[in-house]
Amino acid sequence: MPQRQMSEPSGFKGGARLSQGLWLPYSLLVVAALGWWWTFVGAGRTGSSTMAAMSFAAFLIAWVAMMGAMMLPAILPVVRLYALAAARGAAAPAAVFVGGYLVVWSAVGIPAYFLWRRLSGPLAEASPWAARFAGAVAIGAAVYQLTPLKSLCLRHCRSPLSFFLHHGRNLNRPTGAALAGGRHGIYCLGCCWMLMALLVALGTMSLGWMIALAVLILLEKTAPFGEVLAKTAAAGLLVLGAALLLHPALIGNIV
């Protein structure tokens, strides 16, 4: 890497690449905004009958848009650190790293689709068993918030430098960059999979729950009090789960 930097004729090229490393991660916020817009428009135009007929491909497109809206702002610190290394020629383009990350979350859309197919009709009808299922998932999410695995994954997500020290091999190669992005996606999945399961259980087109969970995920990963919040959120999830188990009719008021 030093030889490559010394071979540049002036500081202009290096400065341009460094500038790219600074602005490129923030383009993720634009992508996330487009994801929110797409989801908002889709939720407004999609009725229960249309949702029931949604194809696997259409669901995956909607899922990727939702994951982009909810997850990309939370990974901004990791991508920014990676992009700075890429701007200095020490890593493959940041898009490769982000692509590896998105592959993981796209794959999660496959089981989410089959769960959604089973639940979309009962949720639209405010079925008591669907409400109790959502309540059980909420309680499961509350318990998971307090587990050592959640804490381990959250620590990796909250410390980009530590992540790259442990998983930053061969970043100058596209395969190494994609694998690193995939590993970060797995840690992110380890943080959030029960929250995503809860989102599906409450309805994937429920914008209110999307926003609430997206804010929770963002604060967990980026705020100074994120680890405390993760444990505090368990109490709220537990109350939600108990309420749905005891009073399933509430499902019609919250989805």
Q: What was the pLDDT predicted at 22?
A: 57
89 against 146, higher pLDDT: 146
Of 1-15, 86-100, 146-160, least confident by mean pLDDT is 1-15
Q: What is the mean pLDDT of the chain?
A: 83
In this prediction the pTM is 0.82
Q: What was the pLDDT predicted at 13?
A: 46
Report d(CA 88, CA 72) in Å as an integer.
Answer: 23
121 against 223, higher pLDDT: 223
| Residue 161 pLDDT class (50, 70, 90 cuts) | confident
| Residue 164 pLDDT class (50, 70, 90 cuts) | confident
Q: Does the pLDDT value for residue 36 go beyond 80?
A: no
Q: What percent of the chain has pLDDT over 70?
A: 83
Q: What was the pLDDT predicted at 23?
A: 64
Q: Which residues contact 64 (CB under 8 A, 6 or more apart)?
A: 102, 105, 106, 109
Compute CA 186 distance to the chain's CA centroid, rounded to the nearest angstrom.
10
Tokens of 148: 């050592």
Q: What was the pLDDT predicted at 9?
A: 40
Q: What was the pLDDT predicted at 1?
A: 38
